[in-house]
Structure 1
Amino acid sequence: MSTVNNNVPKTTINWETGPILRALMRNKVGALLIAIQIAVTMTIIVNSVFIIVQRSQEMQRASGVDEDNSFYLSSLGFGHDFNSKVSIKEDLNFLRRLPGVVNAIQINAVPISGSGWSMGLQTQAGAEYDGVGTAVYMVDEQGLNTLDVQLLAGENFSATDITWREDSQNTWPNKVIITQALAKTLFADQPLTQIVGKTVFINDIQAMIIVGIIDQLQAPWTDWDKVENVMLSPQWLAQSAARYFIRTEPGQRDQVMADVEERLATSNKSRIIKGMRSLQETRERSYRGHTAMIKILSTVMIILTTVTALGIVGLASFSVNQRKKQIGTRRALGATRGAIIRYFMLENFMISTVGVVFGAILTVGLNMILVEVFSLQALDWYYIPIGMLVLWLVGQLAVFGPAQKAANIPPALATRTV
């Protein structure tokens, strides 16, 4: 280490850079290992933070339904005397009259549940045209109120629009209600009022008229990139297995759930009630993988940051112990404690700079692999400079303790022979 003229602060860093570089070259293995550790830590942390932010945003997306006050269940009929159409009609009449219930419908699938139907909608007929992936919910005229969605343009289904869909049926009603997101995908830049009345095609050639457009409703698949592409079809399913979606008055959900399960189970001995679940529980189940990933990545980030900080502390402490006599000599020649602290802080900053620059390159490379292999989104550019700043700060905080220890070495140590 060399003596620094502390009376000329503007040139202090320039005077110290040379001695620091020479000192690092004498212990280049340790400095290189710390730089690599910083680079790897930055690569993993930046990509992890980006993934956590993306997953958190997905978990916070609104499904479009009244999740706090909604639940669903399944009715499974059995026996030769079980009439699915009669049972469904009776169940809906009962559910809609039940105290605390706002409305109820039979539905083929549940938003954000992970299982459902999908079809392709086209603006032109013919197998040569590509369809837009669309989630399908089969509902009756009470569907909008039960799902708590808002009609932005057009009109709702009427009671006379609802038809029974039999097993193996592949034809569709000639009316459809779609979400605003799907409308914009099919007819870009056109006002919603002009989209109402237009014809779309399902099964390549079957025409359906858009009679209404609703604000928002999510598909059953939370990881689908077209999650808000949804259509409502005016149908009941004539099947022995029926799923009912019930919306309750605020605060009445849990009580209604208990009443519904008991009363439906006793009202018809030729069926069983199963799969009762609230929308809140469904959301938790559907995003369980996201939650686990966030916890794992957060833990990895904490461990990596801690290990990197400890590595910096270890290298700095080793450097201080190796150069006690040199530090004492500097102190004897007039170097202040602040100058000693600055020396080690600058040394760490130089090591960290090499690490974060290399880390920026690795970060982009890893993100490209994640995008290609796992179809993740490309990393936003501002994550990299933020990551660099964070790792610089971690390095400076980690080295500050050993730097203070070095600054407290007494000048008299320079005169010792041992």
Structure 2
Amino acid sequence: MFKHLFKLIWNKRKQNFLFLSEILVSFLVIFAVFSFLTYYYQNYSKPLGFEYKKVWSINYDNGLLTKNNDSLAIFYDNLYKSLKAMPQIEEVSYTGGNFPYSNSNMSTGVNFHGKKFDHVNNYVVGTDYKKVLDVNLIEGRWFLPEDAVTKNKYVIINETLKKEMFGKETAVGKLIGNYDDKEKMKIVGVVQDLKANGDFWPAGNAMFNQLDTGYLKYNSYILVKVRESADATFESELYKFMANTMKNSIEIEHMDEMRDSKNEVTIIPMVIFIIIASFLIINVALGLFGVLWYNINKRKGEIGLRRAIGASGNAVSYQLVMEAMILATMSLIVGSFFAVQFPLLNVFNIPASVYVIAMLLSILFIYLLVFACSLYPGKQAAGIHPAVALHEE
């Protein structure tokens, strides 16, 4: 049976070339769509790693502040106490500019036993940073005030970096080198990954450094966790207080709104891409339907002859559907050859599982599409009366 079908397909190879090309293009487009969707879904399904609700960021211009370290330390300590004393504020923490959902990025590299790990997100955080964002510790502890005067600098790493550097071994107490491997840093804790760039992006490697007095002259961000009672009136009062204290420009942002903005940057292009791909698939489906319908009309004599010598309507329908499925398989073999290069070459540094899942989903989608497009023409062919078909020929 299959040998006969392959012979029929080969004899009509010129007519089938358009069908093969449409299937191949459809597969590649669907593979791209499913790759994006699988990648984003895998990232979205992972825990966020922190709590963003009721967290506000205060961005201030520190240009008018003194640059003396001792004076700055006293100033910021008084500011911290004043903010913490406000009844609508639960927790306060100074932070570098690259806190979650900000548009700032700061990265570095670390060394361990001669192996270098690049593109490590480097966060400079205050002692109460964990309390403000409810960061989840999975190993060790968070920073203490006395950690700022230790021999080896204390750092905290995230779960992803811990797995890459130490695997299943414990990370607490290990010494790692800085970018040039000239200074040693001691790991005191491991935190759950923080998806700082939005719900649809991975956390990546991350390291947390304690904000000390030497960094205060460069600092211009404060994170505050407010209570449910904090409203627009309190925000206005907080703005006036900070403006009077800093004698300069102030900006207050809500982290939940910042999260929505980050997610929109990913969602909107993806929705546009899916809409364009959907129109393409609809056009391809109509094209496949038309090609199959045209082939049936051109093969009425063949169909009538088969019916005349005893073939059932179901057998005729089965033959046409199987021809379409075999053609789809031939196109999918070629398409899969190109698709499998993505995980083999580690394109875009995306996990191989994303491409494998996307390829399997794309193959299933194409088979369903071809089957749906060939089913109705096949049934129409099964209903052709042999005498009518032979008479027309």
User: TM-score by structure 1 length?
Assistant: 0.76
Deviations 1:224-267 (A, max 9, x none): 97724222314253337620111234x55665873464343554
Alignment of 1:215-254 (within 5 A): 215-218=191-194, 227-236=204-213, 237-239=215-217, 242-249=220-227, 251=228
| Residue matched to 2:106 | 117
Match of 2:388 in 1: 413
2:23 matched residue in structure 1: 38
- Matching residue of 1:88: 76
Structure showing greater radius of gyration is 1
The answer to whether the aligner puts 1:364 opposite 2:337 as a matched pair is no
| 2:50 aligned counterpart, secondary structure | coil
Code of the aligned partner of 1:142: D
CA distance in 2, matches of 1:112, 1:411: 69
> 5 Å matches for 1:40-79?
40-79=25-64
2:123 match: 137
| % identity of equivalent residues | 18
C-alpha spacing 1:244/1:257, structure 2 compared with 1 (3 Å): farther
Distance 1:406 1:153, change over 3 A: closer
Q: Distance in 2 between matches of 1:283 and 1:155?
A: 27
- Equivalent position amino acid for 1:362 in 2: F
Post-superposition shift, 1:105?
0.8
Alignment partners' CA distance in 2, 1:350 and 1:152: 52
SS at match of 2:25: helix
SS of the aligned residue for 2:100 comes to coil
Matched with 1:176 is 155
Task: Tell me how far 1:213 sits from its aligned partner.
Answer: 0.8
- Say what the alpha-carbon RMSD is for the aligned residues: 3.7
Tell me which residue corresponds to 1:7: none
Residue deviations 1:326-375 (CA, integer Å, cap 9, x gap): 43444444433222211211221222121112221122246657x45x44
Aligned counterpart, 1:350 = 326
Provide the rounded CA distance (Å) in 2 between the counterparts of 1:62 and 1:368. 28
Match of 1:244, SS?
strand
- 1:102 correspondence with 2:102: no
Distance 2:43 2:321 in 1: 41
Q: CA deviation at 1:302?
A: 2.1
**CA 152–60 in structure 1, closer or farther in 2 if over 3 Å, else same:** closer
Q: Is the 8 A contact 1:149 1:217 kept in 2?
A: no
Query: Structure 1 stretch 403-412 or stretch 114-123: which is displaced more?
Result: 114-123
Question: Take 2:264 and 2:151, find their aligned partners in 1: how far apart are those partners?
Answer: 35
Unaligned runs of 5+ in 2: none
1:395 aligns with 2:370: yes
| Alpha-carbon contact 1:264-1:273 (below 8 Å) kept | no
Q: Does 1:318 align with 2:289?
A: no
Indicate the SS of the match to 2:220: strand
Query: Using a 3 Å threshold, how does the CA distance of structure 1 residues 96 and 343 change in structure 2: closer, same or farther?
Result: same
How many residues were matched structurally? Answer: 385
Q: Distance in 2 between matches of 1:404 and 1:94?
A: 79
Indicate how the Cα distance of structure 1 residues 33 and 221 shifts in structure 2: closer, same or farther if over 3 A, else same: same
Distance in 1 (alpha carbons) for counterparts of 2:117 and 2:390: 85
- Greater shift, 397-406 or 76-85, is seen at 76-85
Runs of at least 5 residues in structure 1 that lack an aligned partner in the other structure? 1-12, 164-170
- What is the deviation of 1:272? 1.6
